[in-house]
Amino acid sequence: MTRRTVTVIDYGTGNLYSVQRAFEVCDASQVIITSDPQKIVHAERLVLPGVGAFADGMRGLQSRGLDSAIREFVQTGRPLLGICLGMQLFASKGLEFGETDGLNLIAGRVEAIPKLTPSGQALKTPYIGWAALTPPENTTWQNTLLLPLSPDESIYLVHSYCFKPSQQANVLASYRYGGYQITAAVQQDNITGFQFHPEKSGKVGLRLLKSFLN
């Protein structure tokens, strides 16, 4: 296996060092944490992590000139992975604490997880815990980063808002909560996003990060 260099974007929010450590465990040759737009544009593999609110995340990117750098990187065709808030920022708009424009890399909106089941029972938010993922109907994870994931394995999530892509074809995986299918992963061309935290999902998550490296 060829060892790979991974660049992790530092924009003032995010699980930077746990992500760094996870990639080191996965035998990345180097993990670079940076706010330098040029290093981001020329990265071999790029990761946008993040925790917190959508608007804060976009302000962090824009104030450092990183939104343009990420868009330029995407045009190279090299792989980009978003984790948690990082995935949500791929969307066209986020509706957390008002409406905020996102990176618009994958068309769609980030909306609150429903607070009631279809029958009117209260749902706890944020969702915190482990969940099994399923691919969309009549699809598989062949040729995607989720190929190493088995149906009986779960990953770890913490979130109150979820990405709703405009095109169902961009939904890579979902999990079931309170009678709803909640988007857990998205994909478009060289862009993949995980709503869950692979760096906190034990050996399962590490397999998925190795998939990104390869």
Rounded distance, CA 94 to CA 179, Å? Answer: 23
Number of CB atoms found within 10 A of residue 87's CB: 28
Q: Which of 26, 84, 96, 159 is catalytic?
A: 84
- For the question of residue 199 being annotated catalytic, the response is yes
Active-site pick, 26, 96, 162, 197: 197
* Residue of 93, 86, 100 lying closest to 193 (CA atoms): 86
- Yes or no: say if 106 and 90 are a contact pair by the CB < 8 Å rule: yes
Strand partners, 116: 122
* CA dihedral sign, ordered 183, 28, 54, 108: negative
Q: Is 162 a catalytic residue?
A: no
Q: Please confirm, yes or no, whether 26 is among the known catalytic residues.
A: no
Residue in 93, 71, 70, 103 with CA at minimum distance from that of residue 161: 93
Catalytic residues: 84, 197, 199
